[in-house]
Amino acid sequence: MVVKDVVKDADGTVHTRYERTYAGLPVLGGDLIVHRAADGAVKDVTKAVKAAIKVASLTPKQTPTAAKSAAVKAAKVARTAGAATGEAPRKVIWAADGKPVLAYETVVSGTQDDGVTPSLLRVVTDADTGKKLYEQQLIDDIADGITARGGSAAAKPGSPQVGAVGTGASQYSGTVNVNTTTSSKGFDLVDTVRGGSSTVDFQHRTGGKGVLFSDADNVWGDGTPGNNQTAAVDAAYGAAKTWDFYKDVLHRNGIKNDGRAPVSRVHYGNAYQNAFWDDQSFTITYGDGANNQHPLTQLDVAGHEFSHGVTSATAGLQYSGESGGLNEATSDIFGTAVEWNANNAQDPGDYLLGEKIDIFGNGKPLRYQDQPSKDGRGSADYWSAGVGNLNVHYSSGVANHFFYLLSEGSGAKDINGVHYDSPTVDGSTVTGIGRDKAVQIWYKALTTYFTSTTDYHGAREGTLKAAADLYGAGSAEVRAVDAAWAGVNVKA
């Protein structure tokens, strides 16, 4: 048992998240959380899988070379161009689905089928039969089917000297302050107050390390996409406001709670209509949108991508099936919360994702949390038995809708200048408890009750427990959580 994370409640309850090994091999799907009372007594254990971890033999019938070939073949089927892997497959126990088996895990790199987005495809194959058991794209993005994602090593800023505060003209958030450091070039876009957060220019390339943004007078951008620094201002501001939200509202010190910030990378590719999180390089990357005029650097997108890192560092929700929908929704939920918490008059809080980036070219947002199906792209308003078969950007609709109902309730209303109309599956009325409480409940559930395999019914159970922890068993908040899940057809 290897400790991954520890959360301590105000009453002294300690939630310890473990990754599991078997005969020295990592167990994929073997994660669990032990909940201990203040006196050390075990109150409960939350497991990703119930099955006992045991395999008949640790000697594979398939060779690592065969596993590598199978993984590359799977990547080619997934239309990965230039599919290749330079690392030997890792021997693991696959326990996330059904009976635990000895398996190989291989990460295949290449380019996704848009011809721009780098791919990191994780493929798990049975070590005895060679059958593919699972595949997962390790690059987490904001959108699907428009363009795509990417990832490579980030630039490392030089040793910062003295912190300073610059002025930036952003495209989406007006004139903002950005933290910088002095350098031989004047000022570098590095925020030492927030974990060394830095912003680099990818110069419309899709490879390399990028160039750290520097400026002579500490006045950045002009508010238009034609100025190379404008997108950097939005990215740096978004990183700062996301960091502040996690620290001030959720008392989390960065993505891994270790005080280290990711690198933000702008101007990726040419007219690239997406943004993504890369856990391996610990970076957030932004394209410049259609005609390089609509960078995906809006505040809620920054919060969305940062939050993919938080999910990886905590529950580790697998990025496929229902757990993948919960992963994507978690980023939407916290991205929304970041926008509200920033309280920026130029980008006021709402329950619309990416409403300013015009990703479809028709002025409509990327996603709607009050009624996800309004996107017209297949997002689910309610749970059904087949929802896990949807792309994760669309299956996320169930949790997004739950969050809106829990925050604001059902029915028609105008909030902060935006009209919403949120229907429940059965026409029932849900009364919201406010966004602040809804955010606390979701974060508590993510960090103390969700595991890598949590599905929607598991999320219901986890959020009910989280609400009881925070506000008391039988509280109005617990009842509201139950009602909101019922409103999206997730019931006991």
* 3-state per-residue secondary structure call for 307-367: HHHHHHHCCCCCCCHHHHHHHHHHHHHHHHHHHHHHCCCCCCCCCEECCCCCCCCCCCCCE
Query: Would you place residue 111 in the very low, low, confident or very high pLDDT band (cuts 50, 70, 90)?
Result: confident
Packed helices 321-342 and 397-408: angle between N→C axes, nearest 10 degrees? 40
Amino acid 146: pLDDT? 56
Amino acid 161: pLDDT? 55
Please state the rounded mean pLDDT for residues 6-35.
96
Lowest mean pLDDT among 110-114, 269-273, 290-294, 467-471: 110-114
Please state the rounded mean pLDDT for residues 357-361.
95
Q: What is the pLDDT of residues 412-423, one digit of tens each?
A: 999 999 999 999
**Is the pLDDT at 127 greater than 90, yes or no?**
yes
Distance CA 444, CA 95 (A): 25
Structure-token match 């005080």, residue found = 259
Distance CA 489, CA 195 (A): 41
In 3D, which of 469, 476, 346, 487 has the Cα closest to residue 14?
469
Whole-model pTM: value is: 0.94
Which residues share a beta bridge with 175? 169
Give me the CATH topology for the region 64-141.
Nuclear Transport Factor 2; Chain: A, (3.10.450)
Amino acid 159: pLDDT? 45
Q: Which amino acid belongs to residue 312?
A: S
- Other CB atoms closer than 10 Å to residue 333's CB: what's the count? 30
Which has more confidence, 264 or 77?
A: 264
Domain 2-47 of CATH type 3.40.120.10: no
Amino acid 251: pLDDT? 96
Amino acid 148: pLDDT? 37
**Is the pLDDT at 204 greater than 50, yes or no?**
yes
Q: Is 343 exposed, middle or buried (0-12, 13-18, 19+ CB in 10 A)?
A: exposed
In the chain, ranges of CATH 3.10.450.490 domains: 2-47
Distance CA 120, CA 11 (A): 42
In 3D, which of 321, 283, 310, 351 has the Cα closest to residue 97?
321
163-303 has which CATH code? 3.10.170.10
Q: Three-state DSSP class for 43?
A: strand
Q: What is the pLDDT of residues 31-72, one digit of tens each?
A: 999 999 999 999 999 999 998 999 999 999 999 999 999 999
Q: How far from each other are the two terminal CA atoms of the chain, in whole angstroms? A: 31
Active-site position among 105, 135, 294, 305: 305
- Which superfamily does CATH assign the domain made up of 321-487 to? Neutral Protease Domain 2 (1.10.390.10)
Q: Three-state DSSP class for 372?
A: helix
Active-site position among 267, 294, 393, 401: 393
Which residues share a beta bridge with 263? 198, 283
304 is catalytic: no
Q: What is the pLDDT of residues 320-355, one digit of tens each?
A: 999 999 999 999 999 999 999 999 999 999 999 999
In 3D, which of 348, 314, 356 has the Cα closest to residue 331?
314
Distance CA 42, CA 36 (A): 4
Nearby residues of 44 by Cβ (< 8 Å), 6 or more positions away: 35
Structure-token match 């933000």, residue found = 264
Distance CA 452, CA 468 (A): 22
393 is catalytic: yes
Please state the rounded mean pLDDT for residues 275-297.
96
Distance CA 231, CA 298 (A): 9
In the chain, ranges of CATH 1.10.390.10 domains: 321-487
Query: Would you place residue 78 in the very low, low, confident or very high pLDDT band (cuts 50, 70, 90)?
Result: confident
The Cα-based distances of 280 to 35, 106, 117, 277 in angstroms read 29, 14, 15, 9
In the chain, ranges of CATH 3.10.450.40 domains: 64-141
Longest dimension (CA), the chain: 67
In the chain, ranges of CATH 3.10.170.10 domains: 163-303
